[in-house]
Amino acid sequence: MNGTFLSIKDALPRRLVLIFALITLSVVLGVGWVLYSYQKGLLYQHSRSTSEDLAYALASSSTSWVLAHDVVGLQEVINSASHVNDLVFAAVITLDGNVLVSTRQSYNGKMLSDSVSRGLIGSAAKTQVLMDNPDLVDLAVPVLAKGKHIGWVRVEFQRDSINQSLRRVRTLGLIMAGLMCLGLFLVGRTLAQRLMSLSSISTAPSPVLERVDETQEEHGLLLSSLTHTIRPWLVWLEGIGIVGASWLVGQAVFLDWFHDSVGAIARGYWLYLLMSLGAIRFGYRGVVLLILLVGTQAYIGALEGKGFFADDLAKTGLQNYAFYMVVLFVVGMLVATFADDLRHKLQELMKLRNKERFAADLLSQMERTAHVGGWELDLRNMQLAWTPEVYRIHEEDPSHPPQLDKAINYYAPESRPIIQAAVERASQDGTPWDLELQLITAKNRRIWVRAQGKGTLQKGKVIRLNGAFQDISERKLFEQSLSRAAQYARSLLEASLDPMLTISAEGLITDVNHATEIATGLLRQQLIGSSFAEYFTDAERAKQVYREVFLNGKVVNSSLVLRGANGREIDVLYNASLYRDATQGVVGAFAIARDVTESKKVLKHLQQANADLESFSYSISHDLRTPLRAIDGFSRMLLEDYGAQLDDEGRRLLSVVRTNTDRMGRLIDDILHFSRAGRTAMNVNNVDMRDLVEVILEELQSDIELHAVKIDVAALPVIQGDRSLLHQVLTNLLSNAIKFSGKRAEPKIQVGCTQEFEQNVFFVRDNGVGFNMKYVDKLFGVFQRLHGINEFDGTGIGLAIAKRIVNRHGGRIWAEAVLEEGATFYFAIPKIIRTEML
Amino acid sequence: MNTLNRAPEVLLVEDNPTDAEMALRAFKKHKLANNVFWVKDGEEALDYLFCRGLYADRSFLDHPRVVLLDLRLPKVDGMEVLKAIRENERTKMLPVVVLTSSKEDRDVVESYQLGANSFISKPVEFDAFMETVAHLGMYWVFLNHPPTFA
């Protein structure tokens, strides 16, 4: 905006036009005078009198005066001339003095032998004035036919009536000149107005956003340059109008009434107009075409005395016509140049206007999409203007132009003073504002808007306020939901009892939760920005751990000791992972330090309990066995030393004592085995299971042979595990299988393995007595037996031990069976053994 | 139980009298009883071996061919006795057989670490016990060739 371009009005002030017109007028008058003198000189050359003009004037004052080409035509001419008032005499005379036709019937067919006809012979094509009577004008006009002088027209007038004719002609000439002048002015004006209306598109008040302002400014500059180019042409146009008018006026005023001011000249000027139209419409080609046409016509007219220009030619001669055509051509070319240029400029202007319309459409679409509108307040007349979107935001009908106070009142009561203050301040010094305010629309809806504005200064005074206006309700709503989400996430973090923090790539703490404050005894603001490692007893290790996060993306269960409040040391398990922004760029590490002090305490208790259990089982192994041996030993000694004195019953009783001591010994052994299976440190190595099974089968060889058991061992993998513990498992399962299938006719045992994704599942299948699946839960309990002691030997510890060992490998043991048909024992050992057992 | 004319060839360190009686019965069965000297705790065992206290008049030269050592003993336990034996220049090469009720691995390992020559777990079953002790006696008294002491 800021008035960067000029309107035509601005470019051509009325005063300037007037001055210019006056100057042009005086110049034209001067030129007109010179031309007139020149023409007059030409006339004097062949007539030495201005009376010739009068003849022309006479010709045009008659109803249908045309110079005829033959006798019949001439007769008509004379006949019509006879009706002219004040005509004294008119006749057509051949070169040799024969009167062909005359107003006086008596002259017809006679030879004139007076000085007139005689004197005229030999001076062809020259109008002559014969001055034999002072009251009359006696005129001899040459008659041309096909370019040949064939005779004369002799006319006599009353001198007074000629003067009257001249006055009439002058008045008529003035009126016609005025009309032409007016016409030319109108054409010029219309063009000027058209131009102005084109350029005025941009001067109309259009309150738009600043960025649109820039586009307009650009367009404005273009327009400005355009009007600068067009202006001289406009001046030209107006000048031509003035020149044309002045020419006519000059002709009418200065020319003697004998000159053909109306007939030929009027025709000539119409030809100028025709030429101008042709030039405007068809350009140079039009001009050339017209000149060719006119030239042909003129040439034919000159040769044959025919055509549109023939009579003019008859009067003025060919060389005058050539001059006339040169002028016509020059004018035509000038107009064509001007028209071409003007057309070009207009096209550019139209293009610009289309561009502007496109920009306006785009703006309107943008407005609608972005919910951004523009407004402008002209402080000089307090006119407020809104773009359509502003109306839409207000939910107001665009047919209601906004008033300033009404516009302010759309704001919610709490927002009103803020916007008022901003507008007032901007009105003073142009201070811009950018506010987020609440608005109550015409439909009584409460929305959020962003109101921006600034003042435009002119000569140190704010003359205009304008700015953007945006509906930001959606954004506000989104922001609110976002802040709620953030609040929710934050609350979760703060609710955690584990210290949580974020660390930058430099190892500085960027955020902490409340639990971190409690753990360290420091405030949030003290923690943030400090080095992460300094809160751990082993700072070096802490550094190493956080580096590992940035290196590997995460750290799982790394043990660290946090130096807590009051010097308390807190055992923590440190877990961390990287967190990234939307573009996957690493922002920092998110870390959780789980307080495992309690777990460690429990672990310690557990270890203590284990140690107690160990010493207990040690005592059992030592202390219980000794008296047992004594009972057994001494009952044997009794039997040996005094057996003879005992009867059978005495000896049987002693053997019951011994059987039970034996059984108790085995129970004690089993308890120790069981305890040892859970306690001894695991020694994980590669174990060839096939090899292991074969070793065990060798150990069990005597039992196998005893029961004639057929054993089928499939290919078994090499796995990770503790060989001696797995030895125990397989021994237990295989000896069970032998034991429970031993009573079958064809005892059969199958050992195999199925490989699964993460584990190997081994099985030992027999066709023995099986068991009822109802008791499957009891199978792996300590000292649980599903068969009577008389049926099958055993303490019921074997499977409990097997289960314990499998569990220690991180595996699982289970069984399937059908009573009296057989049982299958499965145990699964993971392919990778995790050795964080107690 | 002991003879004056001849130094005992087996020193039995056993606090449990019933175990000791059974052991002696086994030795007796194989005519070895006369060569066995029985002490009831670790201190007495060390006094005997180092010729001090009650046994101050003993000569180092009259060392036994083997010491059968129980681990769980009053006063000074079996491991300490073994350690003391191995630390003493005069007795460090003395064959020591650990004879105990324990089957604990750690006892086995510790015994060997301290320089035990053998580790025997006492069988609970009478026959097996008798046989084991008899074998022990036969082996260490008759078969084994002990080092010569300075």
* Per-position DSSP letters for A442-463, written without gaps between them: TT--EEEEEEEEEEEEETTEEE
A661 vs B: CB within 8 A: yes
Helices then strands (H, E): number in chain A? Answer: 24, 22
Per CB-CB distance under 8 Å, the chain B contacts of A637 are 22, 25, 126
Per CB-CB distance under 8 Å, the chain A contacts of B105 are 676, 680
- Alpha carbons A586 and A500: distance in angstroms, whole number: 18
A640 vs B: CB within 8 A: no
The pLDDT score that the predictor gives to residue A408 is 86
Residue type at position A18: L
Dihedral over alpha carbons B120, B124, B127, B131 (to 10 degrees): 10
Q: Quick check: B18 and A618 CB within 8 A?
A: no
Per CB-CB distance under 8 Å, the chain B contacts of A626 are 16, 18-19, 101, 122
A618 vs B: CB within 8 A: yes
Q: Which residue has the tokens 């998110």?
A: A590
The pLDDT score that the predictor gives to residue A269 is 59
Residue type at position B90: R
Considering A149-163, A206-220, A542-556, A751-765, the range whose residues carry the highest mean pLDDT is A751-765
φ/ψ of residue A126, rounded to 5? -125, 125
For A659, name the nearest residue in chain B, comparing CA atoms only.
B125
The pLDDT score that the predictor gives to residue A264 is 46
Residue A23 pLDDT grade (very low, low, confident, very high; cuts 50, 70, 90) = low
Closest CA to A698 of A654, A669, A735: A735
A636 vs B: CB within 8 A: yes
Q: Which residue has the tokens 């397989």?
A: A730
Q: Quick check: A618 and B104 CB within 8 A?
A: yes
The one-character DSSP state at A380 is T
A682 vs B: CB within 8 A: no
Q: What is the mean pLDDT of residues B79-90?
A: 91
How close does chain B come to A497, measured CA to CA in Å? Answer: 44
A452-461, A672-681, B132-141: segment of lowest average pLDDT: A672-681
The rounded mean pLDDT for chain A is 74
Phi-psi domain of A147 (left: phi exceeds 0; alpha: psi -120 through 50; beta: other): left
Radius of gyration of chain A (CA): 65
Q: B6: which 2 tokens? A: 């001849």
Closest CA to A673 of B104, B112, B111: B104
Question: Largest alpha-carbon pair distance within chain A?
Answer: 218
- Alpha carbons A115 and A121: distance in angstroms, whole number: 10
Q: Choose, out of B109, B119, B124, the residue to mutate when testing the contact with A (most A CBs < 10 Å).
A: B124
Q: What is the mean pLDDT of residues A325-334?
A: 80
Residue A7 pLDDT grade (very low, low, confident, very high; cuts 50, 70, 90) = very low
Pairing of strands A87-94, A99-102: antiparallel
The pLDDT score that the predictor gives to residue A33 is 58
The pLDDT score that the predictor gives to residue A719 is 92
Q: Quick check: B101 and A622 CB within 8 A?
A: yes
The pLDDT score that the predictor gives to residue A176 is 64
Per CB-CB distance under 8 Å, the chain A contacts of B98 are none
How close does chain B come to A637, measured CA to CA in Å? Answer: 9
Q: Over 70: is that where the pLDDT of A71 sits?
A: no
Closest CA to B14 of B107, B78, B60, B65: B78
For A668, name the nearest residue in chain B, comparing CA atoms only.
B124
Give the nearest partner residue to B19 out of A626, A636, A668, using CB atoms: A626
B59 vs A: CB within 8 A: no
The pLDDT score that the predictor gives to residue A286 is 81
Q: How far is CA A225 from CA A171, A220, A311, A690, B22, in A?
A: 45, 9, 50, 100, 134
- Alpha carbons B14 and B36: distance in angstroms, whole number: 12
Q: Over 80: is that where the pLDDT of A430 sits?
A: yes
Residue A263 pLDDT grade (very low, low, confident, very high; cuts 50, 70, 90) = very low
- Alpha carbons A186 and A171: distance in angstroms, whole number: 22
Q: Where are the alpha helices (DSSP H) in A585-624?
A: 597-619
Helix axes B126-137, B17-29, angle to 10 degrees: 60
Q: Quick check: B100 and A662 CB within 8 A?
A: no
How close does chain B come to A665, measured CA to CA in Å? Answer: 7
Bridge partners, residue A177, by sequence: none
Per CB-CB distance under 8 Å, the chain A contacts of B127 are 636
The pLDDT score that the predictor gives to residue B113 is 94
Is A186 exposed, middle or buried, given 0-12, 13-18 or 19+ CB atoms closer than 10 A? Answer: exposed
The pLDDT score that the predictor gives to residue A51 is 37
Q: Quick check: B104 and A621 CB within 8 A?
A: yes
Q: Quick check: B125 and A625 CB within 8 A?
A: no
B29 vs A: CB within 8 A: no
Q: Which residue has the tokens 């402080």?
A: A379
Provide the number of CB pairs (under 8 Å) joining chain A to chain B: 64
B131 vs A: CB within 8 A: no
A36-40, A755-759, B103-107: segment of lowest average pLDDT: A36-40
- Alpha carbons A708 and A741: distance in angstroms, whole number: 10
Do the beta carbons of residue A449 and residue A393 sit within 8 Å? Answer: yes
Beta strands in A352-419 (DSSP E): 372-378, 383-386
Q: Quick check: B101 and A629 CB within 8 A?
A: yes
How close does chain A come to B25, measured CA to CA in Å? Answer: 9
- Alpha carbons A340 and A8: distance in angstroms, whole number: 20
The pLDDT score that the predictor gives to residue A561 is 87
A181-185, A636-640, A720-724, B87-91: segment of lowest average pLDDT: A181-185
Residue A42 pLDDT grade (very low, low, confident, very high; cuts 50, 70, 90) = very low
A812 vs B: CB within 8 A: no
The pLDDT score that the predictor gives to residue B11 is 92
The one-character DSSP state at A756 is -
A626 vs B: CB within 8 A: yes
Do the beta carbons of residue A801 and residue A809 sit within 8 Å? Answer: no
Residue type at position B102: S
Give the nearest partner residue to B72 out of A622, A627, A676, using CB atoms: A622
Per CB-CB distance under 8 Å, the chain A contacts of B126 are 629, 632-633, 635-637, 658
Pairing of strands A710-713, A748-755: parallel
B72 vs A: CB within 8 A: yes
Is A766 exposed, middle or buried, given 0-12, 13-18 or 19+ CB atoms closer than 10 A? Answer: buried
Bridge partners, residue A815, by sequence: A825
Residue A120 pLDDT grade (very low, low, confident, very high; cuts 50, 70, 90) = very low
Q: What pTM, to 2 d.p., does this model score? A: 0.41
A679 vs B: CB within 8 A: no
Q: Choose, out of B126, B127, B129, B130, the residue to mutate when testing the contact with A (most A CBs < 10 Å).
A: B126
Helix axes A263-304, A210-254, angle to 10 degrees: 80
Radius of gyration of chain B (CA): 14
How close does chain B come to A630, measured CA to CA in Å? Answer: 6
The pLDDT score that the predictor gives to residue A731 is 92
B132 vs A: CB within 8 A: no
How close does chain B come to A785, measured CA to CA in Å? Answer: 24
Q: Quick check: A630 and B18 CB within 8 A?
A: yes
More confident residue, A794 or A725: A725
Q: B116: which 2 tokens? A: 């035990």
Is A411 exposed, middle or buried, given 0-12, 13-18 or 19+ CB atoms closer than 10 A? Answer: buried
Per CB-CB distance under 8 Å, the chain A contacts of B16 are 626, 630
More confident residue, A73 or A160: A160
- Alpha carbons A171 and A155: distance in angstroms, whole number: 24
Q: Over 80: is that where the pLDDT of A767 sits?
A: yes
